[in-house]
Structure 1
Amino acid sequence: MKFKYLVVDDEPLARKLIATHASKIEGLELVCECASAIEASNVLRSKPVDLIFLDIQMPEIDGLKFISTLKNPPSIIVTTAFRDFGPEAFDLDVIDYLLKPISFERLLKAANKFFERKTAASSKVLESVEEPAFIYLRADRKMHKIATSDILYIESLDEYVKVYLRNRMLITREGISILETKLPAEQFVRIHRSFLIAAKAISTIASDGVEVGGKILPFGRAYKQSALAALKVKI
């Protein structure tokens, strides 16, 4: 994967030097060079950009003011001849602050900081993905860890309950009402005193019942209206 970047500087030689340094770094791809913040703003409206190498002292609008105009700014590496703006720049969450003349080694160090931040952000996204919901079900004298996404429907019989999964069936003595309290209410619907079904597993709905896993399960008179409301269906 390559991250796309802009070089924004009113000095042509400075732009050329940064672009030359950055071209040696695997993972970066130049979108274009911009001579002003206004030109960069126009590019950002039309093209995806992950990183900006940004000068501070430029005509019309300086680099730091430009950052503050962006609602969702890309990552920023400041490139400037002035030391005095460091604290203000870092308050704007820039990746790094490079003083001109910029060596390849110094720009590479800044680029690596950018890569590290991107990697950390990707890791947080992966960590935020929730593990599939599970319930524990007692059957065959063991506790089975069951992903709720694997449950098609639950059928209550006289003395036991059958839990139909995608690839098997378990028999438990836990009551259907107990299991109903363990399962996400937005994903499972009680259609009958004897049937609790996974809404996603439904293939068809008719006036007398639903089809789940190739089997027609009937609506109970006391459950039909609430089930249809939960399923957001009018029959």
Structure 2
Amino acid sequence: MKELLENIKRNGNGNGRGESSLEKEKPLLIKDALFVRQEGTLVKVKHEDILWLKGDGNYTTLVTRNFVISVRNILKDFEDALPKEQFMRVHKSYIVRLDEISVISTREVKIEEDMVPVGRTYYQRLIDGIQRLSSE
């Protein structure tokens, strides 16, 4: 929380500007959650609410239990920020929350009603991650 307040103090709150410098920063972390910039405000997103993420160039879409939010951060920022034991990249453009996967095939995983693609090079790592998760 201290880091969040220092960033706001240093960079301003973004009101009255076309694009604040906070929009280009990595997601702000606190225990079990992160803050992302959305329309001039910081929105708290709990790790447990995130289902999966999709990267598209300089933007990432977070799909949560209650809403979908698009932010100006690259997918790698979230890959670095989210806990590795809970989240895994399964495709060059997708990260999923492992304990939300209900069906796995060599090409995709099912999370709630959504089908998320799995890249060929990520499949074995996905299986290893699921096995690690079940042994904990």
Q: TM-score, normalised by structure 1?
A: 0.41
Rg bigger for which structure? 1
Equivalent-residue separation in structure 1 for 2:41 and 2:119 (angstroms): 32
Residues 61-100 of structure 1 mapped to structure 2, 5 A cutoff: none
Which one of the candidate residues 42, 50, 66 is aligned to 1:167? 66
Report the equivalent of 1:189: 88
Report the equivalent of 1:205: 104
- SS of the counterpart of 1:222? helix
Contact 1:132 1:149 in 2 (8 A): no
Contact 2:106 2:120 in 1 (8 A): no
Contact 1:160 1:172 in 2 (8 A): yes
Report the equivalent of 1:68: none
Equivalent-residue separation in structure 2 for 1:141 and 1:221 (angstroms): 38
Report the equivalent of 1:221: 120
Cα offset, 1:220, TM superposition: 1.0
Cα offset, 1:139, TM superposition: 2.1
Equivalent-residue separation in structure 2 for 1:157 and 1:184 (angstroms): 21
Structure with greater proportional strand content:
2
Equivalent-residue separation in structure 2 for 1:132 and 1:210 (angstroms): 28
- SS of the counterpart of 1:207? coil
Report the equivalent of 2:131: 232
Equivalent-residue separation in structure 2 for 1:140 and 1:152 (angstroms): 22
Cα offset, 1:183, TM superposition: 0.7
Equivalent-residue separation in structure 1 for 2:34 and 2:115 (angstroms): 25
Cα offset, 1:213, TM superposition: 2.3
Cα offset, 1:152, TM superposition: 0.4
Contact 2:106 2:123 in 1 (8 A): no
- The list of structure 1 runs, each at least 4 consecutive aligned residues, that deviate by more than 3 angstroms after superposition, is none
Cα offset, 1:132, TM superposition: 6.5
Report the equivalent of 1:43: none
Cα offset, 1:184, TM superposition: 0.7
Report the equivalent of 1:145: 44
After superposition, the Cα gap between the structure-2 partners of 1:211 and 1:176, relative to the gap in structure 1 and judged at 3 Å, is same
Runs (5+) with no aligned partner, structure 2: 1-29
Does 1 or 2 have the higher relative contact order (CA < 8 Å, sep 6+)?
A: 2
**What letter corresponds to residue 130 of structure 2 in structure 1?**
L
**What letter corresponds to residue 224 of structure 1 in structure 2?**
Y
Contact 1:211 1:217 in 2 (8 A): yes
Runs (5+) with no aligned partner, structure 1: 1-130
How high is the sequence identity, in percent, across the aligned residues?
Answer: 26
Equivalent-residue separation in structure 2 for 1:197 and 1:143 (angstroms): 22
